[in-house]
Amino acid sequence: MALHRQGRLAEAEARYRQILALDPRLFPALSLLGSLRLQLGDSREAADLLARALAVAPDNADALAHYGMALIGLGRFQDAASSFDQALALKPSLLLALTGRAAAMRGLGRTADSLADFDAVVAADPANPDGWNGRGVQLRKLGRIEEALESFNRALRLWPDFAEALQDRGALLWDEKRDFPAALADLERAMAIDPARPALSENLLHLKMMMAHDACDLDQVQALANQLPDLIARGEIVPPMMQLLCSDDPKLQRRNAENLIAKRFPPLPPLWSGERHGKSRIRLAYLSSDFKNHAVAGQIGELIERHDRNRFEVIAISTGADDGSLQRQRLKNAFDSFHDLHGQGAPVIAQRIRDLQVDLLVDLNGHTEHDNLDVLRRRPAPVQVSWLGYAGTTGAPFIDALIADRVVAPDAENFSERLYLLPDSVLCADTSRKLGQAPSRVTAGLPTRGFVFCAFNRGWKITAPVFQSWMRILASVPNSVLWLKQPSPQAMNNLSIRASALGIDPARLVFAPSLALEDHLARHALADLFLDTFPYTGHATACDALWAGLPLVTRKGKGYAARVSASLLEAVGLAELVTETQEQYEELAIALARDPSRLADVRDRLAQNRATMPLFDTARFARDIEDLYARILADRLNE
């Protein structure tokens, strides 16, 4: 015991084992060796030793608490919780048991119960940094962001070099878009203290890429993009959404996604055990963290309303916060049932889906922010499908199918899922959206005369080659301007500086502030031609432009995300606006700007095709995707 207290663990372990060779049932040696093995990270032998100790002295609270910690290390959270409950029944003030039970509740996805225990820990021991940090993690899950931030701050005031708390606070600061530089400082400090911490290098890369994209620091974006192939080849994880912004190589995208799944989401025992539910209607559930003021919610509203209730019972599994938006309220009214599970852990969410006897579960997140992959790997439903939210393969063996179309997914080998193709476009449109009254050019900040190129994709989709193309287009079309969605002040400054360096007066860049959707759609009427981004093309933004009657020129690449605008244009009968190279893209944009009659013809055909082509026939889309759902379910159950 003296050696153990001095940290001379190898010598202490040798003595404990000598003692147990003489008396295998000696409780102190079993218990102490068990706690030592736990210190060394050997949860399996620790659990075996502590179980033997408890067979001798079943009412020892300290041994029960250590046994619970070993069970957490083995992922046996329910058994761990029982052990902590027994320990606390014997010794209610035992902090190790209280902290351990909070961790077990976290592992079980019981966020509120975990928070209650962490509250009790810091009430009993206000100088406990682990308690404050654990409390912060649970508060964040519940959407109580300010309280979470203060809890992380308390942990770090107590222990400034607490790497886990630095990582957690840094993740909150960048994920909530509070303070990117402060987040970077936290993550870099955590890396200096504990470079082997799980997901830390991935977090740092993600943040650096987000900062570069947010600031439209196009040189930094390109420098980071150039590193990605080597990182992925070494098996390191690149945030998949960031990869889509930088590369249209679908093979590399698949490899990266599969690396991520293997590292972060290894297999778990399935909740669905092969039984058939046998209901008269297919129970169709949509799983998303984005049932709010978000592009995904904006696209699916009319589809949910149009689903055939004779064939399907349509269920929402919402894992994101309620933002009180009209979009969320519309969806709550549209679904047959709406289950708000925000703040619940993956085990709880997965069990709810299992209890609802869902037949087909459609994940609308994929590898996007606040993904639900930890839910899906528990296999709560017989059939699990990826669609819409993420423009690429998930790389997940627990995702059975991916819904796409022949344009975005021409080659099945780039997808880990089985492909099911819609006959027209992979995106659905909400044709109930109204177009407001267009403002005047002066009101919108545009010049009264001249050609208006529009690029309303988010600023983080702009790459150096795309911006150079845009500047060459402006140089070839006198008196033209480029109308961009307003990014951050730093991004506006960086784009202006870059335009000037490329010989374009920064005054020819006009920035459009955020507006309500109806007003935003209406102002498209002031533009002459929409210029798409690459390799991540327009998705909802491209659909918005076409719905508002604004033609779009795109470049089609190799990956899913680089082909969505091409899919939309084919589905609205304007395939001639799809180009294959950067040079063709520039030439077509310039040619249309210089030929008013040709552009007018394109606009007229777009106006006519809106009413007749598949892109904006949501009733047709609903029947098509319902037929796919039924086929996917039948194929899966008949395997």
Structural domains for the chain:
1-108 (1.25.40.10), 203-264 (no CATH), 282-429+622-637 (3.40.50.11380), 452-594 (3.40.50.2000)
601-612: pLDDT as tens digits: 999 999 999 999
Q: Is 392 helix (H, G, I), strand (E, B) or coil?
A: coil
- Mean pLDDT in residue range 422-449: 94
> 95-107 and 129-141 are packed helices; what angle lies between their axes, rounded to 10 degrees?
30
CA 550 → CA 454, 526, 607, 610, 611, distances in Å? Answer: 9, 9, 9, 11, 15
pTM of the full structure? 0.92
The per-residue pLDDT of the chain, averaged, comes to 96
Q: If we measure between CA atoms, which residue out of 117, 108, 120 comes closest to residue 72? A: 108
Statement: residue 151 has pLDDT above 90? yes
Give the tokens for residue 124: 């009993």
What are the structure tokens assigned to 365, written together?
């997140």
Element (H, E) at 19: helix 9-22
CB neighbours of residue 4 within 10 Å: 18
| DSSP H or E run through 167 | helix 163-175
Element (H, E) at 288: strand 282-288
For strands 282-288 and 337-340, give the pairing.
Answer: unpaired
Share of the chain above pLDDT 70, in %: 100
Residue of 275 and 33 predicted with greater confidence? 33
Mean pLDDT of 219-242: 93
Alpha helices in 278-325 (DSSP H): 295-306
pLDDT reading at 627 higher than 90: yes
Q: How far apart are CA 21 and CA 611, in angstroms?
A: 85
Q: What's the pLDDT score for residue 204?
A: 93
Write out pLDDT tens, residues 478-517: 999 999 999 999 999 999 999 999 999 999 999 999 999 9
Measured in whole angstroms, the distance separating CA 341 from the mean position of its chain's CA atoms is 17
Q: For 275-285, what is each residue's pLDDT tens digit?
A: 887 789 999 99
pLDDT, position 436 = 83
Asked if residue 94 has pLDDT above 80, the reply is yes
**Strands 337-340 and 552-555: what pairing?**
unpaired
- Supply the pLDDT for residue 276: 84
Helix 95-107 and helix 77-90: axis angle, to 10°?
A: 160
Q: What separation in angstroms does the CA of 340 have from each of 27, 106, 343, 348, 353? A: 48, 19, 9, 12, 12
d(CA 181, CA 175) in angstroms, rounded, equals 12
Residue 105: pLDDT band with limits 50, 70, 90:
very high
Backbone phi, psi, residue 236, to 5°: -75, 160
Rounded (5°) CA angle 598-604-608: 145
What are the residues whose beta carbons fall under 8 Å from the beta carbon of 384, sequence distance 6 or more?
361, 363, 376, 398, 399, 400, 401
**Cβ proximity of 46 and 73 under 8 Å:** yes
pLDDT at 175: 87
Q: For the ranges 272-286, 301-315, 448-462, which has the lowest average pLDDT?
A: 272-286
pLDDT above 90: residue 73: yes
* Neighbouring C-beta atoms of residue 255, cutoff 10 Å: 18
Q: Is residue 177 over pLDDT 90?
A: no
Cα–Cα dist 62/81, whole Å:
14
The mean pLDDT value for 205-210 works out to 93
Residue 453: what pLDDT?
98
**224-228, 275-279, 421-425: least confident range:** 275-279
CA 90/CA 12 separation, integer angstroms: 29
**Contact present, 388 and 300 (Cβ < 8 Å):** yes
